[in-house]
Structure 1
């Protein structure tokens, strides 16, 4: 039996209407910085107003920071942290998708710690220093079902001048409270629903085939895989399907309860570091068939692929290839089987540089793979994925 540790301290409010109970959940402060994206949907759909109402019901003041990009960047972390300090905020609220939630965590770090955020990050130029001070308490309110940032201790931020997209992992980044309310996800467009759902799927899949998988984590991951496979096509087809939205939202959080990502994520982060308009989930979809195909062809973990195929609904699965067939069919069912890197400005000529970036920025994830990938293997996967 493998040894493992399990620690998830976040209080999760889950279900339709869950946001309405936030004011009674024990807000960890008196003045919050609300972090949202630079887009219009959070305000236009009334989500910001509802969160502000909840904070006011709890007797809390609030300040807004609304500049976060789809791939959050270092300069906005610094700006948001400065605003939090100037305004005397004692907690941070991330409202939106993974970008807003990750940015909220990073801002919470820099609102209390000296120096530059990259002092505490890894990657090529990061110093990987321990945090000098605890971050501000964090509340996460997710309006998407993809990243799992509402229950994990990770913040992924891009340093634009060096094209490093790196994750900071620290148990102090677990949110104090998270709200997972499917009512806040009904307006997500079909393609974004698909991208986010596949992101959640790959969190779970990579955790199962991970070299460090364990029975506790696998329990969450396999259930997440089951729910995404069963309900994501329905959520993509009809965004108002509350049952489908609810199960995909649950799958997303379950996947993040045990998230051990592999080099597939490193490779995608290299793509979107250079091409920030590329949605993370879309990049993962583009890489997925070639990436998993490599490990299936080399019989790296046939039994685990078979187990996941069974979770996806093929009860008589007996070959690792069954997983690939089901993965491709799920992409067809969600209308994302023909995504092209070239549509986001990626060129064949830059693929070798992406191999280097993936190793330098998030190289630790390669150690999680079920079998070692050489640089030649990584380049071949990029090339097979390129359209």
Structure 2
């Protein structure tokens, strides 16, 4: 029953909330707006609206638009230099998980010396403590996928080492303000709506079956699972369905809180290894690919049968009785969202890589394996990859 909860981000949730940014207390006078190198936030007007809100608040701003889908260490270091050169005293992350992840690491490196990997715990990281307070951060999410708007973590890839590792985790990296406005999500294409929605779903599914589960994380996780699972297919089929978008966004934000008061499991480590070696693989797509085999493994171990049954009920199978009913509902949701047939081979992943990926997952993000209710060996990880391969 024990838990330790600290989630200090102020959250403005609901359609139209971006228009209320200018009346919020600003943590500085000059903002660095971090966006991806894609075109969506510019073309859809979200960047211009954010800049206008900052003007109304009397805040100057500059834009850093170099962030990749899986943000790289080199980009973080370039962003930190950009923040210093432009005298920015706070950061606004505008976009999806990649923008928020990069912004958190940039916030640290703008005020601390050395290399980003000096402060990474895991892999070749030096594990040094973050000495100087990061720049304050405001998160404006345009996707429902990572929950990063309410947690203190980012995930960064070291392209030289093929290491993709969680960064941060300190209290000062919680965004001071999160704006979750479903109107900003209406333009997300169907397949990315699905990829992001499943990432959000798995944060809570993993949290619910992890050894870190507790009364508080359970409350958030099961509510998130219900909202996402019952509305994601609607959002995929009709991106303008604001009710579905709002419920998926709500589940996503709750899933971010799950990661603060509970913990995710090794499924995320396994996927991080996949996209560390295959930069173009969307994180959510990788999770979808391995999810059926991954959760079936733990169901076969009977580590928490009742929890899998409870999740199946939350997903819509009211009369669920067997743990495998969860897999039935998971596969049905993937089919309904059009993502049941994703192939590793389409992203260049080959079976001969599986042992390398398994070892990478344990070396770089081994901490998450500690939250599995049954220990996964390298052989188990390889078997999960093999069962997932198409």
TM-score by length of 2: 0.98
Does residue 206 in structure 1 map to residue 206 in structure 2? yes
Q: Secondary structure at the match of 2:150?
A: coil
The aligned runs of 1:246-325 (5 Å cut-off) are: 246-259=246-259, 260-325=263-328
Asked if 1:378 corresponds to 2:364, the answer is no
Structure 1 counterpart SS, 2:212: coil
Q: Which runs of 5+ in 1 are unaligned?
A: none
Give unpaired runs (5+ residues) of structure 2: none
- Give deviations 1:164-215, integer Å, cap 9, x for gaps: 0000122221000011000100010000000000000000000000101001
Using the alignment, how far apart are the partners of 1:176 and 1:113 within structure 2? 20
Residue 205 of structure 1 aligns to a residue in which SS?
Answer: helix
| Deviation (angstroms), 1:374 | 1.0
**CA distance in 1 between partners of 2:290 and 2:65 (Å):** 32
- Contact 1:102 1:157 survives alignment (8 Å): yes
Equivalent residue, structure 1, for 2:70: 71
| Secondary structure in structure 1 of the residue aligned to 2:368 | helix
- Give the Cα–Cα distance (whole angstroms) in 2 for the partners of residues 197 and 35 of structure 1: 22
Instruction: Kindly provide the CA deviation profile for residues 270-319 of structure 1, in whole angstroms up to 9, marking residues without a partner as x.
Output: 00000011100000000000000001111111011111111112222111
Q: In the alignment, what sits opposite 1:346?
A: 349
Distance in 2, Cα, partners of 1:347 & 1:125:
25
CA RMSD of aligned residues (A): 0.7
Distance 1:325 1:251 in 2: 21
Describe the SS at the equivalent of 1:240. Answer: coil
Aligned-pair distance for 1:12?
Answer: 0.6
Structure 1 segments (4+ residues) deviating >2 Å? none
Give the C-alpha shift of residue 351 in structure 1: 1.0
In structure 2, the partner of 1:187 is: 187
What does residue range 114-133 of structure 1 map to in structure 2 within 5 Å? Answer: 114-133=113-132
Cα deviation, residue 122, structure 1: 1.6
Among 352, 358, 361, the alignment partner of 1:358 is 361
Displacement after TM superposition at 1:60 (Å): 0.4
Over residues 329-350 of structure 1, what are the superposed CA-to-partner deviations in whole Å (9 max), with x where a residue is unaligned? 1111101110000000101111
Is the contact made by 1:114 and 1:132 (CA closer than 8 Å) also made in structure 2?
A: no
Q: Aligned equivalents of 1:313 and 1:61: distance in 2?
A: 48
**Structure 1 counterpart of 2:332, from 329, 333, 336:** 329
Q: Distance in 1 between matches of 2:319 and 2:186?
A: 35
Q: Separation in 2 of the partners of 1:206 and 1:173?
A: 23
Match of 1:139 in 2: 138
Equivalent in the alignment of 1:241:
241
Conserved in 2, the CA contact under 8 Å of 1:97 and 1:142? yes
Aligned residue-pair number: 386
TM-score normalised per structure 1: 0.99
Partner of residue 230, structure 1: 230
Pair 1:62-2:57 in alignment: no
Given that 1:8 and 1:257 are in contact with CA atoms closer than 8 Å, whether structure 2 keeps it comes out as yes
Query: Which residue is 2:197 aligned to?
Result: 197
Match of 1:257, SS? helix
